[in-house]
Structure 1
Amino acid sequence: MRVNRVTADLSEYPDLVVILLGMRVHRPRGILRLIGVGPKLYRSHADRPDGLLSHEDVVWSLFPPHWGARQYWRDLDSLERWTRSEPHRIWWREFLKNSGGTGFWHEAYFARGGIDSVYDDMAPVAGLTRFAPTVPARGRLFSTRQRVRGAAPEVASVVTESSYYEQQATDTQRPDELPGRTV
Protein backbone atom coordinates (compact mmCIF):
# COMPACT_ATOMS: atom_id res chain seq x y z
CA MET A 1 0.00 0.00 0.00
CA ARG A 2 1.32 3.44 -0.91
CA VAL A 3 2.10 6.01 1.75
CA ASN A 4 -0.13 9.10 1.69
CA ARG A 5 2.57 11.81 1.72
CA VAL A 6 1.55 15.47 2.27
CA THR A 7 3.16 18.69 3.45
CA ALA A 8 1.91 21.87 5.13
CA ASP A 9 1.30 24.87 2.87
CA LEU A 10 2.52 27.74 5.06
CA SER A 11 2.10 30.47 2.45
CA GLU A 12 -0.60 32.13 4.60
CA TYR A 13 1.77 32.20 7.61
CA PRO A 14 4.92 34.08 6.52
CA ASP A 15 5.71 35.20 10.07
CA LEU A 16 4.99 31.85 11.76
CA VAL A 17 6.71 31.19 15.08
CA VAL A 18 7.03 27.65 16.45
CA ILE A 19 7.90 27.56 20.13
CA LEU A 20 8.89 24.59 22.25
CA LEU A 21 8.49 25.02 26.01
CA GLY A 22 9.46 22.90 28.95
CA MET A 23 9.41 22.86 32.75
CA ARG A 24 11.61 20.29 34.47
CA VAL A 25 11.36 19.36 38.15
CA HIS A 26 14.70 19.53 39.98
CA ARG A 27 13.61 19.12 43.60
CA PRO A 28 10.59 17.44 45.20
CA ARG A 29 8.91 20.80 45.88
CA GLY A 30 9.10 21.44 42.13
CA ILE A 31 6.26 18.94 41.64
CA LEU A 32 3.96 21.41 43.41
CA ARG A 33 5.09 24.23 41.09
CA LEU A 34 4.61 22.08 37.99
CA ILE A 35 1.17 20.89 39.08
CA GLY A 36 0.18 24.41 40.16
CA VAL A 37 1.10 26.04 36.86
CA GLY A 38 -0.26 23.29 34.61
CA PRO A 39 -4.02 23.91 34.96
CA LYS A 40 -3.52 27.68 34.59
CA LEU A 41 -1.57 27.22 31.38
CA TYR A 42 -4.18 24.82 30.01
CA ARG A 43 -6.94 27.37 30.64
CA SER A 44 -4.91 30.16 29.05
CA HIS A 45 -4.35 28.41 25.73
CA ALA A 46 -7.89 26.97 25.73
CA ASP A 47 -9.08 30.61 25.59
CA ARG A 48 -7.34 30.84 22.18
CA PRO A 49 -5.39 34.08 22.58
CA ASP A 50 -5.11 36.15 19.40
CA GLY A 51 -2.35 34.72 17.25
CA LEU A 52 -2.17 31.23 18.79
CA LEU A 53 -2.80 28.85 15.91
CA SER A 54 -2.25 25.56 17.73
CA HIS A 55 -1.09 24.16 21.08
CA GLU A 56 0.05 20.60 21.78
CA ASP A 57 1.04 19.25 25.20
CA VAL A 58 4.34 17.40 25.35
CA VAL A 59 5.81 15.12 28.00
CA TRP A 60 9.57 15.38 27.56
CA SER A 61 10.22 12.84 30.34
CA LEU A 62 8.48 11.22 33.29
CA PHE A 63 11.59 11.01 35.45
CA PRO A 64 12.47 13.62 36.24
CA PRO A 65 9.08 15.14 35.45
CA HIS A 66 9.62 17.40 32.45
CA TRP A 67 6.45 18.64 30.79
CA GLY A 68 5.85 21.25 28.16
CA ALA A 69 4.23 22.26 24.92
CA ARG A 70 4.71 22.96 21.26
CA GLN A 71 2.88 26.05 20.08
CA TYR A 72 2.38 27.66 16.68
CA TRP A 73 1.91 31.44 16.67
CA ARG A 74 0.90 33.64 13.74
CA ASP A 75 3.79 36.05 14.48
CA LEU A 76 6.16 37.33 17.14
CA ASP A 77 3.97 40.38 17.85
CA SER A 78 0.99 38.27 18.96
CA LEU A 79 3.23 35.94 20.99
CA GLU A 80 4.84 38.91 22.77
CA ARG A 81 1.44 40.52 23.49
CA TRP A 82 0.22 37.29 25.09
CA THR A 83 3.36 36.75 27.19
CA ARG A 84 3.05 40.29 28.55
CA SER A 85 -0.66 39.99 29.36
CA GLU A 86 -2.47 38.50 32.37
CA PRO A 87 -2.21 35.77 33.60
CA HIS A 88 1.05 34.80 31.83
CA ARG A 89 2.83 37.94 33.02
CA ILE A 90 2.05 37.10 36.66
CA TRP A 91 3.33 33.50 36.38
CA TRP A 92 6.49 34.63 34.66
CA ARG A 93 7.22 37.34 37.23
CA GLU A 94 6.66 34.85 40.07
CA PHE A 95 8.92 32.26 38.41
CA LEU A 96 11.72 34.78 37.94
CA LYS A 97 11.60 35.55 41.66
CA ASN A 98 11.70 31.88 42.64
CA SER A 99 11.80 28.89 40.30
CA GLY A 100 10.23 26.72 43.01
CA GLY A 101 12.46 23.71 42.43
CA THR A 102 11.93 23.69 38.66
CA GLY A 103 13.72 24.85 35.54
CA PHE A 104 12.08 26.43 32.53
CA TRP A 105 13.17 26.80 28.91
CA HIS A 106 11.92 27.80 25.51
CA GLU A 107 13.20 27.54 21.98
CA ALA A 108 11.50 29.51 19.21
CA TYR A 109 11.92 28.98 15.47
CA PHE A 110 10.94 31.73 13.03
CA ALA A 111 9.70 31.15 9.46
CA ARG A 112 11.60 34.25 8.32
CA GLY A 113 14.77 32.94 9.89
CA GLY A 114 16.35 32.86 13.29
CA ILE A 115 16.17 30.75 16.40
CA ASP A 116 15.72 32.00 19.94
CA SER A 117 16.34 30.20 23.19
CA VAL A 118 16.44 30.86 26.91
CA TYR A 119 17.07 28.46 29.78
CA ASP A 120 16.26 29.35 33.40
CA ASP A 121 17.65 27.10 36.11
CA MET A 122 18.07 24.28 33.59
CA ALA A 123 20.80 22.01 34.88
CA PRO A 124 21.49 19.57 33.37
CA VAL A 125 21.39 21.21 29.97
CA ALA A 126 18.57 20.83 27.45
CA GLY A 127 17.92 21.54 23.80
CA LEU A 128 20.42 23.74 21.99
CA THR A 129 22.64 23.97 25.09
CA ARG A 130 23.52 20.29 24.65
CA PHE A 131 25.96 21.34 21.91
CA ALA A 132 26.19 25.15 21.82
CA PRO A 133 28.02 27.23 24.44
CA THR A 134 25.90 29.33 26.79
CA VAL A 135 26.22 33.02 27.57
CA PRO A 136 24.35 35.19 30.09
CA ALA A 137 21.06 36.63 28.78
CA ARG A 138 22.12 40.23 29.29
CA GLY A 139 22.13 43.38 27.21
CA ARG A 140 21.06 42.65 23.62
CA LEU A 141 20.48 39.01 24.65
CA PHE A 142 17.94 39.82 27.38
CA SER A 143 14.72 39.56 25.32
CA THR A 144 13.56 37.36 22.45
CA ARG A 145 13.04 40.27 20.05
CA GLN A 146 16.52 41.62 20.78
CA ARG A 147 18.12 38.18 20.36
CA VAL A 148 16.35 37.43 17.09
CA ARG A 149 15.61 40.78 15.47
CA GLY A 150 18.14 43.07 17.17
CA ALA A 151 15.31 45.42 18.19
CA ALA A 152 13.75 46.33 21.52
CA PRO A 153 10.42 44.63 22.32
CA GLU A 154 7.35 46.53 21.12
CA VAL A 155 5.55 45.57 24.32
CA ALA A 156 7.30 46.27 27.63
CA SER A 157 9.04 43.26 29.20
CA VAL A 158 7.47 41.61 32.22
CA VAL A 159 10.61 42.41 34.19
CA THR A 160 13.28 44.91 33.15
CA GLU A 161 16.81 43.66 32.88
CA SER A 162 18.12 46.05 35.51
CA SER A 163 15.40 45.22 38.04
CA TYR A 164 15.84 41.48 37.45
CA TYR A 165 19.58 41.47 38.03
CA GLU A 166 19.38 43.98 40.89
CA GLN A 167 16.79 41.78 42.63
CA GLN A 168 18.91 38.69 42.04
CA ALA A 169 21.98 40.39 43.50
CA THR A 170 19.97 41.45 46.56
CA ASP A 171 18.37 38.02 47.05
CA THR A 172 21.19 35.62 46.33
CA GLN A 173 24.58 37.31 45.99
CA ARG A 174 26.89 39.78 47.60
CA PRO A 175 26.57 43.12 45.74
CA ASP A 176 30.00 42.67 44.11
CA GLU A 177 29.02 39.32 42.53
CA LEU A 178 27.13 38.83 39.30
CA PRO A 179 24.32 36.27 39.35
CA GLY A 180 24.74 33.31 37.00
CA ARG A 181 21.07 32.74 36.23
CA THR A 182 19.72 33.92 32.88
CA VAL A 183 16.34 35.22 31.78
Structure 2
Amino acid sequence: MQSRQSVDLSAYPDLIVIMLGFRVSSLRGLASLIGIGKELRSVRENPPEGLLAHEQCLFALNHFGIRQYWRDLESLESFTRSAPHSHWWRDFAKLGRGAGFWHESYARSGAMEALYANMPGAMGFATFAPPLAPDGPFLTARQRLTLGRA
Protein backbone atom coordinates (compact mmCIF):
# COMPACT_ATOMS: atom_id res chain seq x y z
CA MET A 1 0.00 0.00 0.00
CA GLN A 2 1.31 3.42 -0.95
CA SER A 3 1.69 6.12 1.67
CA ARG A 4 1.34 9.88 1.10
CA GLN A 5 2.22 12.54 3.61
CA SER A 6 2.74 16.29 3.73
CA VAL A 7 4.13 18.57 6.44
CA ASP A 8 2.97 21.61 8.40
CA LEU A 9 5.69 24.27 8.11
CA SER A 10 3.70 26.99 9.90
CA ALA A 11 6.10 26.87 12.89
CA TYR A 12 9.01 27.74 10.53
CA PRO A 13 8.11 31.03 8.81
CA ASP A 14 11.79 31.95 8.28
CA LEU A 15 12.98 28.50 7.15
CA ILE A 16 16.16 28.40 5.04
CA VAL A 17 17.13 25.31 3.03
CA ILE A 18 20.70 25.16 1.81
CA MET A 19 22.21 22.69 -0.63
CA LEU A 20 25.99 22.37 -0.53
CA GLY A 21 28.28 20.47 -2.82
CA PHE A 22 31.94 19.55 -2.89
CA ARG A 23 33.31 18.25 -6.20
CA VAL A 24 36.68 16.50 -6.18
CA SER A 25 38.86 16.74 -9.30
CA SER A 26 42.24 15.52 -7.97
CA LEU A 27 43.88 13.65 -5.10
CA ARG A 28 44.52 16.99 -3.42
CA GLY A 29 40.79 17.70 -3.57
CA LEU A 30 40.07 14.27 -2.10
CA ALA A 31 42.41 15.07 0.79
CA SER A 32 40.48 18.32 1.37
CA LEU A 33 37.17 16.45 1.47
CA ILE A 34 38.52 13.82 3.87
CA GLY A 35 39.87 16.63 6.02
CA ILE A 36 36.41 18.09 6.66
CA GLY A 37 34.70 14.71 7.09
CA LYS A 38 35.23 14.59 10.86
CA GLU A 39 33.87 18.12 11.24
CA LEU A 40 30.79 17.25 9.17
CA ARG A 41 30.10 14.26 11.41
CA SER A 42 30.35 16.58 14.41
CA VAL A 43 27.78 18.95 12.91
CA ARG A 44 25.40 16.05 12.26
CA GLU A 45 25.90 14.53 15.73
CA ASN A 46 25.89 17.85 17.64
CA PRO A 47 23.75 20.24 15.62
CA PRO A 48 24.40 23.93 16.17
CA GLU A 49 21.57 26.14 17.40
CA GLY A 50 18.97 26.52 14.66
CA LEU A 51 19.99 23.54 12.50
CA LEU A 52 16.83 21.47 12.14
CA ALA A 53 18.16 18.69 9.89
CA HIS A 54 21.38 17.71 8.11
CA GLU A 55 21.31 15.15 5.29
CA GLN A 56 24.19 13.90 3.18
CA CYS A 57 24.00 12.70 -0.40
CA LEU A 58 26.19 11.64 -3.28
CA PHE A 59 25.62 13.40 -6.62
CA ALA A 60 28.36 11.40 -8.38
CA LEU A 61 31.41 9.40 -7.35
CA ASN A 62 33.40 12.64 -7.11
CA HIS A 63 30.58 14.99 -6.03
CA PHE A 64 29.46 14.92 -2.38
CA GLY A 65 26.48 16.93 -1.15
CA ILE A 66 24.67 18.12 1.94
CA ARG A 67 21.18 19.49 2.43
CA GLN A 68 20.51 21.45 5.60
CA TYR A 69 17.33 22.96 7.02
CA TRP A 70 17.83 26.02 9.24
CA ARG A 71 15.23 27.68 11.47
CA ASP A 72 16.23 31.10 10.13
CA LEU A 73 18.99 33.03 8.39
CA GLU A 74 20.34 34.36 11.70
CA SER A 75 21.06 30.80 12.92
CA LEU A 76 22.75 29.88 9.64
CA GLU A 77 24.87 33.04 9.70
CA SER A 78 25.89 32.45 13.32
CA PHE A 79 27.14 28.99 12.36
CA THR A 80 28.95 30.13 9.22
CA ARG A 81 30.79 32.90 11.09
CA SER A 82 32.07 30.61 13.84
CA ALA A 83 34.38 27.59 14.00
CA PRO A 84 34.44 25.01 12.51
CA HIS A 85 32.71 26.49 9.45
CA SER A 86 34.78 29.66 9.30
CA HIS A 87 37.93 27.51 9.33
CA TRP A 88 36.66 25.29 6.50
CA TRP A 89 36.04 28.25 4.24
CA ARG A 90 39.39 29.87 5.11
CA ASP A 91 41.22 26.59 4.42
CA PHE A 92 39.30 25.97 1.19
CA ALA A 93 40.17 29.46 -0.03
CA LYS A 94 43.85 28.71 0.61
CA LEU A 95 43.99 25.07 -0.49
CA GLY A 96 40.97 24.71 -2.79
CA ARG A 97 42.91 23.47 -5.81
CA GLY A 98 41.62 20.10 -6.86
CA ALA A 99 38.15 20.70 -5.52
CA GLY A 100 35.12 22.82 -6.27
CA PHE A 101 32.50 24.01 -3.82
CA TRP A 102 29.00 25.43 -4.27
CA HIS A 103 25.92 26.24 -2.30
CA GLU A 104 22.39 27.30 -3.15
CA SER A 105 20.10 28.79 -0.49
CA TYR A 106 16.32 28.79 -0.65
CA ALA A 107 14.25 30.87 1.79
CA ARG A 108 10.63 30.13 2.58
CA SER A 109 9.98 33.78 1.70
CA GLY A 110 10.89 32.91 -1.90
CA ALA A 111 14.37 34.46 -1.94
CA MET A 112 17.20 32.38 -3.41
CA GLU A 113 20.95 32.84 -3.84
CA ALA A 114 24.01 30.84 -4.84
CA LEU A 115 27.79 30.73 -4.84
CA TYR A 116 30.03 28.55 -7.01
CA ALA A 117 33.79 28.30 -6.42
CA ASN A 118 36.23 26.39 -8.63
CA MET A 119 33.50 24.37 -10.31
CA PRO A 120 34.49 22.88 -13.69
CA GLY A 121 31.28 23.98 -15.39
CA ALA A 122 27.92 25.58 -14.83
CA MET A 123 25.44 23.87 -12.56
CA GLY A 124 22.27 24.79 -10.70
CA PHE A 125 21.20 28.40 -11.16
CA ALA A 126 24.39 29.03 -13.16
CA THR A 127 23.04 26.88 -16.00
CA PHE A 128 20.45 29.55 -16.87
CA ALA A 129 21.11 32.76 -14.92
CA PRO A 130 23.83 35.27 -15.87
CA PRO A 131 26.95 35.23 -13.67
CA LEU A 132 27.42 37.85 -10.97
CA ALA A 133 30.64 38.48 -9.04
CA PRO A 134 30.17 37.78 -5.29
CA ASP A 135 31.60 41.11 -4.18
CA GLY A 136 30.38 44.58 -3.28
CA PRO A 137 26.62 44.42 -2.64
CA PHE A 138 26.61 40.68 -3.42
CA LEU A 139 29.42 39.63 -1.04
CA THR A 140 27.36 37.71 1.53
CA ALA A 141 24.51 35.25 1.26
CA ARG A 142 22.31 37.68 3.22
CA GLN A 143 23.02 40.46 0.70
CA ARG A 144 22.40 38.12 -2.25
CA LEU A 145 19.11 36.91 -0.72
CA THR A 146 17.95 40.47 -0.04
CA LEU A 147 19.09 42.07 -3.30
CA GLY A 148 17.87 39.13 -5.35
CA ARG A 149 14.29 39.99 -4.36
CA ALA A 150 14.51 43.61 -5.48
Task: Mark yes or no: TM-score above 0.5.
Answer: yes
Q: Is the 8 A contact 1:109 1:115 kept in 2?
A: yes
CA distance in 2 between counterparts of 1:104 and 1:46 reads: 23
Match status 1:128 vs 2:122: no
Give RMSD over aligned pairs.
Answer: 1.2
Query: How far is 1:139 from its partner?
Result: 0.8
Query: How many residue pairs end up in the alignment?
Result: 147
Larger Rg: 1
Q: Deviations over 1:15-74 (max 9, x none)?
A: 000100000012232111111112211212321100000010010101xx1101001000
CA distance in 1 between counterparts of 2:3 and 2:60 reads: 31
CA distance in 2 between counterparts of 1:131 and 1:38 reads: 32
**2:49 alignment partner, SS class:** coil
Q: Is the 8 A contact 1:22 1:106 kept in 2?
A: yes
Identity %: 47
CA distance in 1 between counterparts of 2:108 and 2:64 reads: 25
* AA at the equivalent of 2:30: I
CA distance in 1 between counterparts of 2:109 and 2:129 reads: 22
User: Equivalent residue for 1:55?
Assistant: 54
**2:39 alignment partner, SS class:** helix
User: Equivalent residue for 2:6?
Assistant: 7
Q: Which runs of 5+ in 1 are unaligned?
A: 151-183
Q: How does 1:1-183 map to 2 (within 5 A)?
A: 1=1, 3-62=2-61, 65-150=62-147
Query: How far is 1:86 from its partner?
Result: 1.0
**TM-score, normalised via structure 1 length:** 0.76
Q: Which runs of 5+ in 2 are unaligned?
A: none
Query: What stretches of structure 1 move > 6 A for 4+ residues in a row?
Result: none
**1:109 alignment partner, SS class:** strand
Q: Deviations over 1:109-130 (max 9, x none)?
A: 0001210100011112221112
* Greater per-residue strand proportion: 2
**2:47 alignment partner, SS class:** coil
User: Equivalent residue for 1:173?
Assistant: none
CA distance in 2 between counterparts of 1:104 and 1:8 reads: 31
**TM-score, normalised via structure 2 length:** 0.92
**1:77 alignment partner, SS class:** helix
CA distance in 2 between counterparts of 1:4 and 1:22 reads: 31
